[in-house]
A and B are shown apart, each in its own frame.
Chain A
């Protein structure tokens, strides 16, 4: 069959100041390089007129302004194809005309040029920290993306959720420190150089703090004490939801951030590592009525924002405005956005910042059946993406355990974090709750399974693991907010001295407490998440909110890999242990019954006496055993695992439960033994000689493995 070359609509119908155009395609929204030209499509529910503004890259004044003729408009959308544009050197924006009537929710201002919310590349902050030009009235500019990319055979990895180990990291912080030894510190390309490190750490998922284009200069100011510049460093303040942050790309100055980021994703996938994005759909970078007009405010304020009856901005996010996520138009944009990242970038999952807001009605009231959350849960493109909610917001809505999940959503389990912290700092009477957390929080996620729970002890918000055991109080003065910012309920303990200490006993105790936290984290059911640097005891010097610190407070110091080599090794061996033992990774909650006829419940609780857990309000000792014949709901055979936790400040003797013949107990880890002797390679455990008496040092955790002495050869199913 032969075809005619070209299409019958590949010709211009209109001319404006020498620029030739025709009516465009409404779909997809945004600016798209098409065969005949560049297609621009934008919508606004309340605008009365729209003008396309084109720039030569970097020029202050426009090349041309092309009003959309009435015949290029369908419904509330405006679409136009412009011919013969230099796609590599083009920037664009829109002038929207419409009412200025804040009380009615409208803030149209045709003197301003606004950014396309669907812009896939955004110029203006091409190099991190290269400041805004003084008199440029249009700072964040839409650009065109080359969307062709050679993915070879790549696609999202679809690792079962129960098998994940997440590593939460900030793109820039990971390699910005001079000690990282990479060619382009602080960039996507640099992460690629460090993939071998991530592999060796045993994580199989990295969760990137915001990578959508943001403005590091938003709210920037000098540190009152040192004069050092404070930035919008974390970037929880989106300028454009469809564009990767140019300043995170070594090639951002060349506009190649899309290719660079996709290459990183492809290479991470090749290494077996999934990528989650931390996405911020609760607010934008435009702030409240005193903030800048960048995009949404000038395009369709009433649609995009939750407004009070007087036309002011609701502030459920704590940052000035709240995106109106359950408005049908905004909901579509969020869906378009996530589909775009899943389809075009092969993203494996999303973590939704302050996700409780996504369940609020335009009035702010929490919805029983939030359409946005339901839409995302059932979307075919997102069907295999992991969806994880930070299930609270700054407006007081706390939904850990009750977030509308539709069988799809997981949660950052804030209660896991708090419980482990209270437990390892020897608070009495935490046993009962600790047990729930270790089991994947069946009290919170009864019908959703253990994988609904993302377990973490530390995250970017709050203390690092080292600071958690080094500070009683936050020390945020460097943020210039008089130590008023950041959380106050840290459940932290300084082990006897606030901050750095030379006392060997304090140093040793802090190391033990960190190992206790890691040991509990990686033997709990659910999805463990490790904060970048906790594996090498990174400190933020007591700052529990480094959102503005582009310096050594935030950066990972790679010299710590040597300095704290024991903790790094301890972490690596724990992740290896978790990967080796499916019994630690059940998707569903344990029944605490025996349903396979092994003679042992799938999970059982113990105390100083076997089979006798102490649930009294003064107890600080707890132990559990996992039956290897119940691994993955009884479908897989594994070893038995016994974990004893002594959070008392005195040593304790635990009676270890007897195993079925011919299994015996072997010692994998004991946090009471500092240095390399405290843990071994999984599979090379030493036999536990003193059965049944396990003596645990003060505040320490032991992990035993129950298996046959001859081991692997006789159990080929374990050899993987």
Chain B
């Protein structure tokens, strides 16, 4: 699992690539957790994630909870059809704002007028 991040406008974009499972989830959480801003916006780009296991789903939900606690908004972008279907069936998708691309994800996180 490889994790990089950069700023896009005022949001943080974290790009994950590889497989998110029991072997990689803990390390991924350790890397991403400090990147969650306080009172800001964060986008998780999952377009290069091919597989997400139960442990991966749980890590995502923990990130969501952390963002919520820090008054930040979080969105997922670039979900593959399979992962989206899995997240939907298991209920994890319900928690997240989901965008097709970084741009649309960013728009979705903008404060509503």
Q: Which A residues form the contact surface with B (CB < 8 A)?
A: 86-89, 146, 148, 150, 183-184, 187-189, 249-251, 254-256, 259-260, 262-263, 266-267
Contact = CB atoms under 8 A, between A and B. Distances in A.
Nearest to B93: A263
28 contacts: A87-B22, A87-B55, A88-B21, A88-B54, A88-B55, A89-B22, A146-B54, A148-B58, A150-B95, A184-B85, A184-B89, A188-B89, A189-B88, A189-B89, A250-B89, A251-B89, A254-B53, A254-B86, A256-B57, A256-B86, A256-B90, A259-B57, A259-B91, A259-B92, A260-B91, A262-B91, A263-B89, A266-B91
Given A86-B23, A259-B57, A251 B90 contact: yes
B53 A88 contact: yes
Interface string B30-73: 00000000000000000000000111011001000000000000
A183 B85 contact: yes
A263 B22 CA distance: 21
B21 A146 contact: no
A664 B8 CA distance: 70
Contacts of A262: 91
B56 to A, nearest CB: 9
A630 B94 CA distance: 45
Contacts of B86: 251, 254, 256
B89 to A, nearest CB: 4
Nearest to A265: B91
Nearest to A146: B54
A473 to B, nearest CB: 42
Given A88-B22, A150-B61, A260-B91, 9 more contacts: A86-B23, A88-B54, A146-B54, A189-B88, A249-B89, A251-B90, A254-B86, A260-B89, A263-B91
B73 to A, nearest CB: 18
Contacts of B61: 150
Contact of B85 (A148, A188, A250): A250
Contacts of A86: 22-23
A259 B58 CA distance: 10
A256 B89 CA distance: 9
A145 B54 CA distance: 9
Nearest to A190: B89
Interface in B68-101: 85-86, 88-92, 94-95
A45 B110 CA distance: 63
A87 B25 CA distance: 13
A117 to B, nearest CB: 23
Q: Which among A86, A87, A254 has the highest number of chain B CB atoms within 10 Å?
A: A254
Contacts of B22: 86-89
Nearest to A183: B85
A107 B39 CA distance: 64
A146 B59 CA distance: 12
A259 B53 CA distance: 12
B74 to A, nearest CB: 15
Residue from A259, A266, A267 having most chain B Cβ neighbours under 10 A:
A259
B89 A187 contact: yes
A259 B85 contact: no
Contacts of A255: 54
A227 B95 CA distance: 47
Contacts of A266: 91
Contacts of A87: 22, 55
Given A148-B58, A183-B85, A259 B21 contact: no
* Overall SS of chain B's interface: helix
Contacts of A189: 88-89
A350 to B, nearest CB: 23
Contacts of B21: 88
A710 B10 CA distance: 62
Nearest to B94: A263
A259 B25 CA distance: 18
B54 A260 contact: no
A256 B56 CA distance: 12
Contacts of B95: 150
A171 to B, nearest CB: 14
A267 B90 CA distance: 11
Interface in B1-41: 21-23
A267 B94 CA distance: 11
Contacts of B23: 86
Contacts of A188: 89
Nearest to B61: A150
Contacts of A89: 22
Nearest to B82: A254
Nearest to B52: A254
Contacts of A187: 89
A87 to B, nearest CB: 6
Nearest to A250: B89
B23 to A, nearest CB: 7
Nearest to B64: A150
Nearest to A257: B90
A260 B53 contact: no
* 5 tightest A-B CB contacts, nearest first: A263-B91, A189-B89, A88-B22, A259-B90, A250-B89
Nearest to B92: A259
B22 to A, nearest CB: 4
B112 to A, nearest CB: 22
Contacts of B55: 87-88, 146
Contacts of B85: 183-184, 250
A262 B90 CA distance: 8
Contacts of B89: 184, 187-189, 249-251, 256, 260, 263
Nearest to A148: B58
Given A86-B22, A88-B21, A260 B58 contact: no
A417 B106 CA distance: 59
A148 B58 CA distance: 9
Nearest to A266: B91
Nearest to B56: A88
Contacts of B53: 88, 254
Contact of B90 (A88, A148, A263): A263
A250 B51 CA distance: 16
Contacts of A260: 89-91
A263 B53 CA distance: 16
B63 to A, nearest CB: 13
B58, B86, B91 pick with most chain A CB within 10 angstroms: B91
A581 B91 CA distance: 36
A508 B54 CA distance: 53
Contacts of B58: 146, 148
Nearest to B88: A189
Contacts of A148: 58
B91 to A, nearest CB: 3
B54 A259 contact: yes
Nearest to A252: B89
B20 to A, nearest CB: 11
A263 B23 CA distance: 25
Contacts of B94: 263
A256 B86 CA distance: 9
Nearest to A149: B91
A508 B85 CA distance: 44
A258 to B, nearest CB: 8
A360 B86 CA distance: 44
A394 to B, nearest CB: 37
A63 to B, nearest CB: 16
Contacts of B57: 256, 259
B49 to A, nearest CB: 14
Nearest to B95: A150
A266 B95 CA distance: 13
